[in-house]
Chains A and B, each alone.
Chain A
Amino acid sequence: MNDRLLRVLMLADYNTRVVVFGVVMLGIAGGVIGVFLLLRRRALLADAVGHAALPGVAGAFIVLTALGADARSLPLLLTGALISGLAGMGCVLLINRLTKLSEEAALGIMLSVFFGFGIALLGIIQQMRGASAAGLGSFIYGRTASMIRADALLIGFAALGIVVLATLLFKELRLYTFDEDFAAGDGWPVHGLDVLLMSLVVGVTVLGLQAVGIVLVIAVLIIPPAAARFWTDSLAKMVLISAVIGALGGYIGAAISAMAPRLPAGAVIVCVTGSMFLFSLFFGKTHGVVPLAVDALKLRRQTRLHHILRCLYECGEAIYDHSKPISIRTLRDSREWGDQELERAIHTAEKAGHLRETRERAYLLTEKGRVEAHRITRNHRLWEIYLLEHADVAASHVDQGADFIEHVLGTELVAELERSLSIEELTPGSVHHLPAEQGVET
């Protein structure tokens, strides 16, 4: 079994190699084009296009049979699919532009009408004399295993062409998918770019018909970019990650299907890509659920720590002595917090080595804790004064996305604040008096 797995993964078999090459190239093209489709918020158009391809395949088959040509030729069948796919997409775009119907309604209509028409044509083919429709129906669910060298090369090079075009037009596609009005005002042919992007979508869809089939081809275009979005905030990286996910999904999916030939490769590829999506959703570095939750937890912990340290510092200030332990009752009374919150804060600070329990339920800042508490308190007060005195300009100076307000003030700004607020003049006893600068600060 292991030996077989290795053979499959190392692409030792010629047939496996052919199939893997085809689906990997398809995965890359789908991943790249899908990013722009997703950002253009037209993801479902791929589904309509996929379904719209069926009458083209069936129509091409009928015409080829009537002409006495080879009705199994993939390039010719896909040409039919391309024509009807483009027609379906054109209808959706036209309905959008000319009528008040919503895009989803237009998509729904085109998807079902074209697909229904295709199914009807398949029925006609089955009654045709001399025609063998065997295998044609498998376009609906894909028939990866039947892929031959010529098919794989066709898919591979067409996919490569699509990727090259998208790379060349990266900047233009970014502009048009982000801000169509600005692009148009700037003199870019937005309708042309619209048609181009949608044609590339049709291209990928048609190439995917043989491998994953009409029903599932949408997965090739949507799942990789959706998964990639969880890992980055950069479009270029998103395109790259999406392409890698598409390629990996194709590779692993085709390999699994080669080991268990009863499993249709298209379905396996979608399942594998789907698992990668699920993983990204939870663990994606920038937008994954888990990293976000961890960040939120860290922030809560940090806030708690800041509260307890400032509280201890201020209690010490009140008695002009930082070397005396502060009882838990004093701490509880000097701030509005619940018992549980206070206990947690103490626990957090104790674990971080900022304070220790010197007597029963009385706490003292450690050396490290005092330095930190001083810094936090100082920044907090600077911030308060800043808001009081400069509320009008604060917004433009403040980094609003910052995780915590005390961390907002850079060294430069702190120095500027000290100058502009002329803090020496503040009464030492005032609520807003600042602890003096210590040498240890950075």
Chain B
Amino acid sequence: MDILKNHNQSTNKQGAGSPTANPPALFVRDLTVAYNRKPVLWDIDLDVPSAVVAGIVGPNGAGKSTLIKAILDLVPHTSGNVEIFGRPYKEQRLIVGYVPQRESVDWTYPITALELVAMGLYRKIGWFKPVTARYRERAREAMDQVGMADFADRQISRLSGGQQQRIFLARALVQDASMYFMDEPFAGVDASTEEAIMAILQELREQGKTVFVVHHDLETVRRYFDHLIMLNMRVVAAGACSEVFTEENLRRTYGGRLTLLDRAVDAIGGIKP
């Protein structure tokens, strides 16, 4: 946790040195992404304050993962401008962490859980240098933080889905970033893992970090997120979760997908006083 605290201070410094007095943590203008001339994201504008856990929700194919990847420059965008704490993303790469979808990697790869977590430290270690004991110790601490200390030497294919997701999170934690993008960290995990991950995300927020989470379960939206981005190729609504998570916005986001809509309405009805 010390790592995180130290980093927090450096974030504050960066905030103070930026051109505008108090820029949003994430600022996106006119972001458009197209695959083979078919638009996937249209004119995305976002202003997200710092120190929030922000959910990204929307139906399948709404472009949630693509939004994250476009912000991180992992897919080419046709147009658009992305700023992190008031500076272009390219300059801020080092303070942004990323948790890809669990399915995006080959879990039979010959590597142990600890070695995977240590990957988050490679940037600090630098080119050509090996992973020394000091870094392995740091990776171990992060594994402890996500409750996976006992599994350090386990080959990754011999972990359950929830355990794999936890070590993905641990790898992001050692990246020691100020802003995190997590692509479906709750996909295929058990309830206790979901709670554990959520607790860590809230801890990150307490430390002043900004966390973006692609999320599917509408029933937990209100409980999990401060900020919400409702996406369906364009931003349907974005803002404080309590303000934008309404039946009207859900209808506009999920359109005619009735089953989902019913569940969404249930979710709202169930929480409203």
List chain A positions with a Cβ less than 8 A from chain B.
Answer: 39, 41, 100, 168-172, 174-175, 177-179, 181-182, 184-188, 229, 232-235, 238, 392-393, 395-396, 399-401
Complex CA gap A393/B192 in Å reads 6
B112 is contacted by which of A187, A229, A233 (Cβ under 8 Å)? A233
Complex CA gap A209/B112 in Å reads 36
Complex CA gap A174/B110 in Å reads 10
Indicate if the CB atoms of B147 and A179 lie closer than 8 Å: no
Indicate if the CB atoms of B192 and A395 lie closer than 8 Å: yes
Q: B26 → chain A, closest Cβ, in Å?
A: 15
Q: Is the interface of A mostly helix, strand, loop or mixed?
A: helix
Residue of B nearest to A393 (CB): B192
- The interface residues of chain A lying within 8 Å CB-to-CB of B105 are 178-179
Interface residues on B, range: 35 or more
Indicate if the CB atoms of B147 and A396 lie closer than 8 Å: yes
Residue of B nearest to A233 (CB): B155
Indicate if the CB atoms of B159 and A186 lie closer than 8 Å: no
Indicate if the CB atoms of B159 and A401 lie closer than 8 Å: yes
Q: A99 → chain B, closest Cβ, in Å?
A: 10
Given A392-B192, A396-B192, A172–B106 Cβ distance below 8 Å? no
Indicate if the CB atoms of B119 and A179 lie closer than 8 Å: yes
Complex CA gap A399/B154 in Å reads 11
Complex CA gap A170/B160 in Å reads 27
B100 is contacted by which of A177, A179, A188, A238 (Cβ under 8 Å)? A179
Q: Rank and list the top 3 A-B pairs by shortest CB-CB distance, nearest first.
A: A185-B98, A401-B158, A233-B155
- Residue pairs across A and B with Cβ atoms less than 8 A apart, 9 shown, are A169-B128, A179-B105, A181-B74, A185-B97, A185-B98, A186-B122, A187-B94, A187-B123, A238-B110
Complex CA gap A179/B171 in Å reads 12
Complex CA gap A100/B160 in Å reads 34
Indicate if the CB atoms of A181 and B69 lie closer than 8 Å: yes
Residue of B nearest to A41 (CB): B106
Indicate if the CB atoms of A168 and B128 lie closer than 8 Å: yes
Residue of A nearest to B157 (CB): A233
Q: A306 → chain B, closest Cβ, in Å?
A: 22
Indicate if the CB atoms of B125 and A235 lie closer than 8 Å: no
Indicate if the CB atoms of A187 and B93 lie closer than 8 Å: yes
Q: B197 → chain A, closest Cβ, in Å?
A: 11
- The interface residues of chain B lying within 8 Å CB-to-CB of A401 are 154, 158-159
Given A178-B105, A186-B123, A232–B110 Cβ distance below 8 Å? yes
Give the residues from 77 to 98 in chain B that come closer than 8 angstroms, CB to CB, to chain A: 93-94, 96-98
B178 close to A (CB within 8 Å):
no
Indicate if the CB atoms of B162 and A185 lie closer than 8 Å: no
Indicate if the CB atoms of A229 and B100 lie closer than 8 Å: no
Complex CA gap A396/B197 in Å reads 12
For the complex with contacts A179-B119, A184-B72, A395-B192, 11 further pairs of A-B residues with Cβ separation under 8 Å are: A169-B128, A171-B122, A174-B119, A182-B171, A185-B74, A186-B98, A235-B109, A392-B191, A395-B162, A396-B147, A401-B154
Indicate if the CB atoms of A229 and B74 lie closer than 8 Å: no
Give the residues from 154 to 211 in chain B that come closer than 8 angstroms, CB to CB, to chain A: 154-155, 158-160, 162-163, 171, 175, 181, 190-193, 196
- The interface residues of chain B lying within 8 Å CB-to-CB of A235 are 109-111, 115
- The interface residues of chain B lying within 8 Å CB-to-CB of A100 are 36
Complex CA gap A168/B74 in Å reads 26
Interface string of B114-143 (1 = CB under 8 A from A): 011001101101011111000000000000
- The interface residues of chain B lying within 8 Å CB-to-CB of A168 are 128
Given A186-B175, A235-B111, A175–B128 Cβ distance below 8 Å? no
